[in-house]
Chain A
Amino acid sequence: MKNDDALRREFADKGMYNPASEHGACGIGFLVNIKGEKSSAIISQGVGVLKNLLHRGAKGADDRTGDGAGLQFQLPDRFFRRIAEEREIQLPSAGHYGVGMFFLPGTAKVRSECCAIIDDQIKHSGMRTLFWRDVPVAPDVLGGISREQMPFFRQCIIDGGDLNSDALERKFYVIRKKAEKRISTICREPDYFYTASFSCRTIVYKGLLMPHQVEAFYPDLTDSLMESAFVIVHQRYSTNTFPSWPLAQPFRYLCHNGEINTLRGNRNWMASRERDFQSELFGDDIKEILPVLEPGVSDSANLDNALELLCCGGRSIDHSMAMLIPQAWGDKYPIGPDLRGFFEYHAGIMEPWDGPAAVVYTDGRRVGAILDRNGLRPARYTVTKSGFMIFASEAGVIDIPPAEVKEKGALRPGEMLLVDLDEKRLLKDTEIKMRLARRRPYRRWTEENQITIHGFFNAIAAVEVDRDRLFASQRLFSYTREDIRRILEPMALEGVEPVGSMGADQPPAILSEKPQLLFWYFKQCFAQVTNPAIDPYREELVMSLMTFIGCADNLLAETPQHAHLIKLSHPILSNEDLRRLCSLEEKGFRSIKLKMQFPAGGGGSALEEALTGLCLQAQEAIKKNYGLIVLSDRDLDENMAPIPSLLAVSAVNRHLVDRRLRTSIGILVESAEAREVTHMALLLGYGASAVNPYLAFETVAHLAERGLLGTRLSQQKAMENYVKALCKGILKIMSKIGISTLRSYRNGQVFEAVGLNDELIDQYFIGTHSSIQGLGLEEIAAEANMRYEEYRRCLDGEDPGQLLPPGGHYSYRRGGERHLWSPEAISLLQHAVRMNDYDKYREYAYLINDQQEKQATLRGLLRFKKREPVPLEEVEPATEIVRRFVTGAMSFGSLSPEAHTTLARAMNSLGGKSNSGEGGEDPARYKPVPGGENFCSAIKQVASGRFGVTAAYLASARELQIKIAQGAKPGEGGQLPGHKVDEMIARVRHATPGVTLISPPPHHDIYSIEDIAQLIFDLKNANPESRISVKLVSEVGVGTVAAGVAKGHADMILISGGDGGTGAAPLSSIKHTGVPWELGLSETQQTLILNGLRSRVKLQVDGGLKTGRDVAIAAMLGAEEFGFASAALVCCGCVMMRDCHSNRCPVGVATQDEELRRRFAGRPEHVRSFMFFVAEELREIMASLGIRRVDDLVGRSDLLEQNRDITFWKARRVDLSRIIYKPEADPSEIRCTRGQDHHLSEALDYRLLPRVEKAIESSEAVIVETPIYNCNRTVGTIISNSIAVKYGNDGLPDDTITLNCRGSAGQSFGAFAARGLTLKLEGEANDYVGKGLSGGKIIIRPFSGARYDPSRNIIAGNVILYGATGGEFYANGLVGERFAIRNSGACAVVEGVGDHGCEYMTGGRVVILGPTGVNFGAGMSGGIAYIYDRSGVLDRNCNLDMIDLEPVVEEEDIEELRELIVKHHSYTGSPKAVHILDNWQECLPFFIKVFPIEYRQVLGKMSREDGDVRRIAPQYN
């Protein structure tokens, strides 16, 4: 296939592909000689590191094109001196000349023009081009795609004249920016121009290369004069397969592993600031460097741009980095006031560039690294005694003799390190930060200048409610009874977001006949795979809602005045807050109120006029030195209808950003329209600084006043609860996309639109993705007028009651929103399957399918083209078709055991598959019962909670599914409250009955795209017979994520519609997150075809499939397999109570209540009937289309057309042509025809297996020795699978098989290790050691011969023992973050852990003989940890929400602790263990027992008085 930019553009134009969604992730590292001694060896060592990071990168469809790799190092003076000499040119002394490394266009003419422009700019700046050099390259080594796009490489050597150092770098910066701007006007695609580096200090060699190609491609690199004191390396993994040459890293100042989620906001804010830039250093040149951020490049590249600006603007590189990626510094974070002052001061100047990030940075004289506040990227380093340092994403990327090692460490969340080559010293975090914190009196500056509005003690003032006015306003702003009852009431009552269950089956806003608030046309974006969601509750200390209002003018200066800002602790303003803000008389903070209104009855042009007016008024206000604009819909003028607040806010924000005025002013919104969490998030996301939802306040006050919130709840308390719920909800929405701070979320537009047209988007919501067209201003005005008329009618007394309309979004209401699962549909389907009556099914299907009159789905707007039919008999039989059907993932625990097994039995008998869901499965079901019936779920899900994920569980599957997200609540975790965890569930989930179980929002072993490749590899090892699937949720960009996943070797990708169901989720997540599967599926299909990846991977779809027609359309849009969940439940008796979360399901489907379970009336036959009916309907459709086999239907979107006979006014504005666009491709490239190569045969286990086979057969003990390297990943897992297949969870007797390994183990060492397997490692290990440990034993000790103190050095990486269910782990050394996370049964002893230790732990024992990081024991509901704490400040580092800390005094505890330490000593020889055991009586008092409160309660270990306290464990969701 052709694979060029033109094609990509065509795809993007006509189809769903969206280049803006591309993501990258990577392996990074640097090597440095701390003493500054230069050598050429370091370059080849750097290349060696790259090669050892190969598995962190990815290959394209041709398997030869890498996603990019590169090196950056000091400008090799001797090398260029020789080059110059060869040309008989005299080079100035080192530091006084620079080298530009350029990627030039292939077209010779354009190329020479580019060079001429550069020369001209150099000359113009008073410098001189010494010579140009064509960089020798060897294109032969490249892969096809890489080679096709290869640019021309040239270096320009410039005489810096008098300038040197910083001044020279600055000048080069200006020259580059100027040259780039000029060249952009002459350089047209496919030609491109790019500056890889342009500096007097560093140079970059990079490209679309694989690590082993680097040296061969650039012969320069092997030159003996290529000398540097450091080298930075980067290896990229991109989600698509046409990464380009310039997107390879390193950039000029940094290279980045991770992703900047807040990019759009950062871009907006940076653009707004540019107007105020002033700098003595730049002088007049300042204008030349604008815009600072290059358009159309990656997030990392923009971060590089920002860093470059700050550095050249005069801040040191560590200072700049600390501004861009600040550590967490909130109230809960244990740091000192000066450092907090530093961060607070800078928070007002620059919002964080937020998102997972490990960054290596250099300005040529210093090289350092930083990890973002969440610390979700691995970062390990080793320092040798001779002053050599290696820093990389993994340990063991370079061989260092153990005796040489001085220190082995890891960067912790938010930490920095820096090697200063001038000082010839390594600086650690504390030193760097203290130096920064005390550069200026930042703390005092903030204290003295900040204006605080709502503080600690200011209770919300009472609100007076005028009932009639309230009611009229509620009518005007479309309040419904449901809004009040289902949304506001629970918020006011409990301070939490309301929860619901089952999916969204009402029409999308664009198809609803009811006028919809503009908010409903937007969907929240969320993180999946390429970056992790955050847990806003358990990891709250990294989150912040603090925001500033005010004008932080010149970014390039640093004055006390920069701290003169209004500080809000959260963005929800009470009426009192707003009043106070509006009465500020301080200069720069005077406010003006602008009304969001337009003439009622007016059309689109009237609305546009009003918006323009609003924008101009705002602009005018700035001119008049107002500092605050209040956009208000309170007290509108006579005959004026409100403008949707989101539209008004976004319009004004956009207008001001475009005019670079946005930072000059705060935008406050006083809105009656906004009431839900999502509304607030939208207003903030599109530019509001803070929101005052006054009508919601009045409504809540009215509820409280009438005593409807209980007698004890005062009006104030109710409003505080409401605000609290909003704040929590906003945190949650931010965390879903992986953003930690509101400052960078604001203006970040992390939403997509469904049903808005391009003109509207381009005018008011620019940058927001919208794929199906829809409303414009005209229609928005029409809907606003409909609301207004309703209001007038009510005022005119036509409806004299005080009754609001019923609503109907959350519960079915006649006359409210329509639902596909109407009572009629449910009863017809149940009737059909129970009587096995196909005619009744047809009636049901007609009800769902026919949308000529009433539209409910996007697919309802499509119809099949007329084609020559074939006889029905010729179509593939239904018995074949049903094999493609699966039931959705519904856990045992959310479903009753009866319902769960009914689905499994039905699907197994059809040859389809049922899905275990994420709750584990009773091992008794793994093997068919004697009668032959199979109760085993064919698909075993692996979700973030890893409940019951044992080696045997994995071995029992035909498919292992990694659940990244769930349609109803993508990006969120879940919680099974303790009272729901009965004996049965506890047993299956390896938990304790009565103890709460928490599923974290992210998989803690998937923080990036390269991690999912690793998990897929792990699971493939855990069950080589099973296929591996990945479940994603439909959203914009899911296609590129899927491409990345396909490159990570998933066998199947499931695209789940955002409408899918749930057993419990916040209502705002059910309704406002994720888009219909039609969008996600078509985007995925098109993107995979574009990348040449489609033939490797199968596609499955689910999320609201109900009929054969749905299946037909899904197939045509690209799906090969089809999942049903809600429909299958309805067949089992579900009547859409939407109350699954209450455990009160009246039909025994979604309950664990014994009594109710008995009412379950579903039978496997019912489910079978349904599947056959659907298949039959599909066959009829296929026959009518002349298609005989489902395979021939897959991807045939050309058989679909939009039904233009539909006359509904809003539906007519929809354009589905992008969805049904069919890229030109060979028929074998539009569905899975090849499959994946998992490269499993390379696994170390296969080499070891023959030596342990006998032991597995006969339990005869065996010891095997093997060296190990960091590229040996997932060692021990295939062996464990063999054990589990034969012996199930029981495994072999302990220590039957012992593997003695020596070296640096790769990731996932001992993953899912089964009982009977003991892994002994001498050396060190990377991340994910003992992931899912299933009874095996892992022992790690340092290399013999190492001279350092093991208790002070890192020996293994992050996320160790994640989801372990049993076994033992001993490590003589420190380990990384999130140790023993979600452990439910393993025992472990280590010498110290990083942040978030024992998070979400539910069982097992952990002994820590040294320090812990912050947030220890967050969400820990079971198990016990013993910590040796000599510092006495353990409690400060713990998250005490769910745990008690107490001394170890009980005999059995002391015994247990001692026994574990004795074992630790005997296995690892730990000197610290020796010391403790030798001095037991002195040391014992320093041990602290961490005892989860709930666990203590169910163990009966709570004192009577204590137990009687009514205790509500923190409840979320």
Chain B
Amino acid sequence: MITERREQVVRREPGYRDLAERLGDFDEVEKMFSAEKAVEQAARCLNCGTPFCHGYACPLGNVVPEINELVGGKRWEEALEIMLSTHPFPEFTARVCPALCEGSCVCGINDEPVTIRQIEKLIIEKGFTEGWIKPSPPRRRRKEKVAVVGSGPAGLAAADRLNKMGFPVTVYEKDLYPGGILRYGIPNFKLDKKIVDRRIDLMKKEGIAFECGIVVGSDISYNYLKRHFTALLLAGGARLPRDLNIPGRELTGIYPAMAFLSAQNKRVIGEPLFAEEDITARGKNVVIIGGGDTGSDCLGTALRQGAAKVYQIEIMPRAPETRPSDNPWPLWPRVDRVSSSHREGGIRRWCVNTKSFEGDEKGVVKRLHCVEVEWVKKDGRFIPVEKEASNFTLDANLVLLALGFLGPGKDPLAEALRLERDARSNIAVDRCHMTSTTGVFSAGDMASGQSLVVRAAADGVQAAEGINTYLHP
């Protein structure tokens, strides 16, 4: 056995398009590795005997070490094959996933993790451009039909797996086009909608039917579905936004973040907007309340729309730059993250609590009244305490609330079936993802609460397994 010292390759990322250029359009901002670079970076992978990326972090269980090893050997097609064995649509997560895998990468214990997400992106894009990805409908069809309600990541993942198993699948979507959050939530500059279309097309070619603009439970009834399908999967997401019930909330110009993002995405794909949907930041002072990813997406969108000034405020303190000791590897590192949008402009503030909105005479918001807070430990928990004499105001004529989501909210079908809910108002499911009604399943944010695309996808995959087990015990 001959060991050679590992070449000291440092982590490199492909980076982003130039600021000036990217702010002028809504195209994807992140660049892609060259094949050579990806091969070089993949060689940093240690091929761990116990891969935490695969076994601990990734909800889908992507077999990262094998993928990296194959890429290292320039065996792209095989790498793609292995990737697709656990992942229904790597092109989405390769763009939007925070890369939990990298948070648990062994290289990251005392060095920089492997650029797993970027490698994944190149593999799947190569797959499409090289023509390795071809529609492959199942060789044999089963007789049991399955309906999937919702075409977000969970619904699509489940539909894909069920279809591959041979079940005829129909996906119902309330919006005009399928994709859910992928299409309407995530800005185009992070996930180009052509990428979504490409996947949907592929799925259609593999035999999945998409019925859009249909609200299941009101446009079509449960009884109808029951007659036509053997199993039903609800994957409607968790779209009920958390609100901020403070004085002045009723003013116009204050919107949930998703409404703002969705409007821009519709513009991108040329979907007509109703007047009340047509929210834009052009020329406005924008304050985004909420320091998370959605807030960041709003920031980037607002800047591109030509906002005069953008603030992003957050009640929590700024996260540290490196892992705190109670957040050791391989846990997801709770560190400060600077997104591409953050680098584009806007002002971020932490430890800011919004006390009230002040409106102008037309009932339009014009100012926020805020206060700085300190986080102090009380009874073992940290709570915010207002700092004395720290009151200040922020001028704003567009306020976006990016405070997260509360759950699925009222869903006509769930109401009709009186599906049981869990403590957090999500649809309650068993190990097989079945709800309290036999034959009705649920997956994704709807069943497990707001989360990441990758978790929703993984949940969808598991739900498909659950449905398979139900149909073929």
Chain A residues within CB distance 8 Å of chain B: 481, 485, 499-502, 708, 796-798, 800-803, 806, 810-815, 819, 821-824, 826-827, 830-831, 834-835, 977, 979-980, 1064, 1133, 1135-1139, 1141-1144, 1146-1147, 1153, 1159, 1161, 1512, 1515, 1517
B60, closest chain A residue (CB): A814
* Option from B52, B73, B82 in Cβ contact (under 8 Å) with A1135: B52
Q: Can you list 17 A-B pairs with a CB-CB distance of less than 8 A? A: A500-B49, A797-B140, A798-B138, A803-B81, A803-B85, A810-B49, A823-B104, A827-B331, A830-B328, A1133-B109, A1137-B106, A1138-B49, A1139-B48, A1143-B3, A1146-B110, A1146-B111, A1153-B5
Distance of A1146 Cα from B330 Cα, bound (Å): 14
**Are A801 and B85 neighbours in the complex by a CB distance under 8 Å?**
yes
**Are A812 and B165 neighbours in the complex by a CB distance under 8 Å?**
no
* Option from B1, B46, B136, B325 in Cβ contact (under 8 Å) with A977: B1
**Are A796 and B106 neighbours in the complex by a CB distance under 8 Å?**
no
**Are B107 and A823 neighbours in the complex by a CB distance under 8 Å?**
no
* Option from B48, B140, B326, B330 in Cβ contact (under 8 Å) with A1137: B48
**Are A1146 and B85 neighbours in the complex by a CB distance under 8 Å?**
no
Given contacts A811-B48, A823-B52, A1137-B49, A798 and B3 within 8 Å (CB-CB): no
* Option from B51, B85, B325 in Cβ contact (under 8 Å) with A811: B51
Distance of A1147 Cα from B109 Cα, bound (Å): 8
- Residues of chain B within 8 A of A802, CB atoms compared: 81
Which of B61-69, B310-318, B405-413 lies on the face that meets chain A?
A: B61-69
- Residues of chain B within 8 A of A821, CB atoms compared: 50
Distance of A1161 Cα from B329 Cα, bound (Å): 12
B107, closest chain A residue (CB): A1146
**Are A798 and B52 neighbours in the complex by a CB distance under 8 Å?**
no
* Option from A803, A812, A835, A1161 in Cβ contact (under 8 Å) with B326: A835
Given contacts A813-B63, A835-B325, A824 and B82 within 8 Å (CB-CB): no
Chain B residues within CB distance 8 Å of chain A: 1-3, 5-6, 46-52, 54-56, 61, 63, 65-66, 73, 75, 81-82, 84-85, 104, 106-107, 109-111, 136, 138-140, 164-166, 325-326, 328-331
**Are B56 and A824 neighbours in the complex by a CB distance under 8 Å?**
yes
**Are A811 and B50 neighbours in the complex by a CB distance under 8 Å?**
yes
* Option from A813, A814, A827 in Cβ contact (under 8 Å) with B330: A827
Distance of A501 Cα from B81 Cα, bound (Å): 29
**Are B49 and A798 neighbours in the complex by a CB distance under 8 Å?**
no
**Are A814 and B61 neighbours in the complex by a CB distance under 8 Å?**
yes
* Option from A485, A826, A1517 in Cβ contact (under 8 Å) with B1: A1517
Apart from the given pairs A814-B55, A834-B325, A1147-B109, 16 other A-B contacts in the complex at a CB distance below 8 Å: A481-B66, A797-B139, A798-B138, A798-B165, A800-B164, A803-B81, A803-B82, A806-B63, A835-B325, A977-B1, A1135-B52, A1144-B3, A1146-B106, A1159-B109, A1161-B110, A1515-B2
A1138, closest chain B residue (CB): B49
**Are B54 and A813 neighbours in the complex by a CB distance under 8 Å?**
yes
A1370 to chain B, nearest CB (A): 40
- Residues of chain A within 8 A of B56, CB atoms compared: 823-824, 827
- Residues of chain A within 8 A of B48, CB atoms compared: 811, 1135-1139
**Are B49 and A812 neighbours in the complex by a CB distance under 8 Å?**
yes
- Residues of chain B within 8 A of A1512, CB atoms compared: 2
**Are A1136 and B50 neighbours in the complex by a CB distance under 8 Å?**
yes
- Residues of chain A within 8 A of B54, CB atoms compared: 812-814
Distance of A1402 Cα from B195 Cα, bound (Å): 64
**Are A1135 and B140 neighbours in the complex by a CB distance under 8 Å?**
no
**Are A812 and B55 neighbours in the complex by a CB distance under 8 Å?**
yes
**Are A813 and B109 neighbours in the complex by a CB distance under 8 Å?**
no
- Residues of chain A within 8 A of B111, CB atoms compared: 1146
**A813, A819, A1141 — most chain B CB neighbours (10 Å):** A813
A808 to chain B, nearest CB (A): 10
A1413 to chain B, nearest CB (A): 31
Distance of A979 Cα from B81 Cα, bound (Å): 38
Distance of A803 Cα from B79 Cα, bound (Å): 11
**Are A823 and B50 neighbours in the complex by a CB distance under 8 Å?**
yes
Given contacts A823-B52, A1517-B1, A1135 and B109 within 8 Å (CB-CB): yes
* Option from A801, A811, A977 in Cβ contact (under 8 Å) with B81: A801
**A819, A831, A1141 — most chain B CB neighbours (10 Å):** A831
- Residues of chain A within 8 A of B3, CB atoms compared: 979-980, 1142-1144
**Are B49 and A1139 neighbours in the complex by a CB distance under 8 Å?**
yes
* Option from A797, A811, A835 in Cβ contact (under 8 Å) with B138: A797
* Option from A502, A801, A824, A835 in Cβ contact (under 8 Å) with B49: A502
Distance of A811 Cα from B68 Cα, bound (Å): 15
B441 to chain A, nearest CB (A): 20
**Are A1144 and B61 neighbours in the complex by a CB distance under 8 Å?**
no
**Are A1136 and B49 neighbours in the complex by a CB distance under 8 Å?**
yes
B332 to chain A, nearest CB (A): 11
**Are B328 and A831 neighbours in the complex by a CB distance under 8 Å?**
yes
A1156 to chain B, nearest CB (A): 9
**Are A812 and B51 neighbours in the complex by a CB distance under 8 Å?**
yes
* Option from B46, B109, B164, B326 in Cβ contact (under 8 Å) with A1139: B46
- Residues of chain B within 8 A of A980, CB atoms compared: 3
B73, closest chain A residue (CB): A708
**Are A812 and B328 neighbours in the complex by a CB distance under 8 Å?**
no
A501, closest chain B residue (CB): B49
B160 to chain A, nearest CB (A): 13
**Are A1147 and B49 neighbours in the complex by a CB distance under 8 Å?**
no
**Are A1138 and B46 neighbours in the complex by a CB distance under 8 Å?**
no
**Closest 4 CB pairs between A and B?**
A1138-B49, A797-B139, A823-B56, A1136-B50
Distance of A827 Cα from B53 Cα, bound (Å): 13
- Residues of chain B within 8 A of A1146, CB atoms compared: 46, 106-107, 109-111
Distance of A1512 Cα from B3 Cα, bound (Å): 12
**A500, A502, A798, A835 — most chain B CB neighbours (10 Å):** A798
**Are A1138 and B50 neighbours in the complex by a CB distance under 8 Å?**
yes
Distance of A811 Cα from B106 Cα, bound (Å): 14
- Residues of chain B within 8 A of A500, CB atoms compared: 49
Distance of A1512 Cα from B82 Cα, bound (Å): 35
Distance of A798 Cα from B328 Cα, bound (Å): 41
**B55, B61, B66, B325 — most chain A CB neighbours (10 Å):** B55
- Residues of chain A within 8 A of B55, CB atoms compared: 812-814, 822-823
- Residues of chain A within 8 A of B106, CB atoms compared: 1135, 1137, 1146-1147
- Residues of chain B within 8 A of A796, CB atoms compared: 139-140
- Residues of chain A within 8 A of B166, CB atoms compared: 797-798
**A708, A803, A821, A1135 — most chain B CB neighbours (10 Å):** A1135
* Option from A819, A823, A824, A1147 in Cβ contact (under 8 Å) with B110: A1147
- Residues of chain A within 8 A of B5, CB atoms compared: 1153
**Are A1144 and B49 neighbours in the complex by a CB distance under 8 Å?**
no
Distance of A1135 Cα from B136 Cα, bound (Å): 39
- Residues of chain A within 8 A of B6, CB atoms compared: 1144
**Are A834 and B328 neighbours in the complex by a CB distance under 8 Å?**
yes
* Option from B46, B52, B138 in Cβ contact (under 8 Å) with A800: B138
A1515, closest chain B residue (CB): B1
* Option from A501, A798, A822 in Cβ contact (under 8 Å) with B140: A798
**Are A1144 and B46 neighbours in the complex by a CB distance under 8 Å?**
yes
- Residues of chain B within 8 A of A813, CB atoms compared: 54-55, 63
B371 to chain A, nearest CB (A): 35
Given contacts A801-B81, A801-B85, A1135 and B61 within 8 Å (CB-CB): no
Distance of A1144 Cα from B63 Cα, bound (Å): 21
**B106, B111, B331 — most chain A CB neighbours (10 Å):** B106
B56 to chain A, nearest CB (A): 4
- Residues of chain B within 8 A of A824, CB atoms compared: 56
A813 to chain B, nearest CB (A): 7
- Residues of chain A within 8 A of B109, CB atoms compared: 1133, 1135, 1146-1147, 1159
- Residues of chain A within 8 A of B73, CB atoms compared: 708
A1516, closest chain B residue (CB): B1
- Residues of chain B within 8 A of A800, CB atoms compared: 136, 138-139, 164
A1060 to chain B, nearest CB (A): 16
Distance of A1159 Cα from B49 Cα, bound (Å): 19
A331 to chain B, nearest CB (A): 28
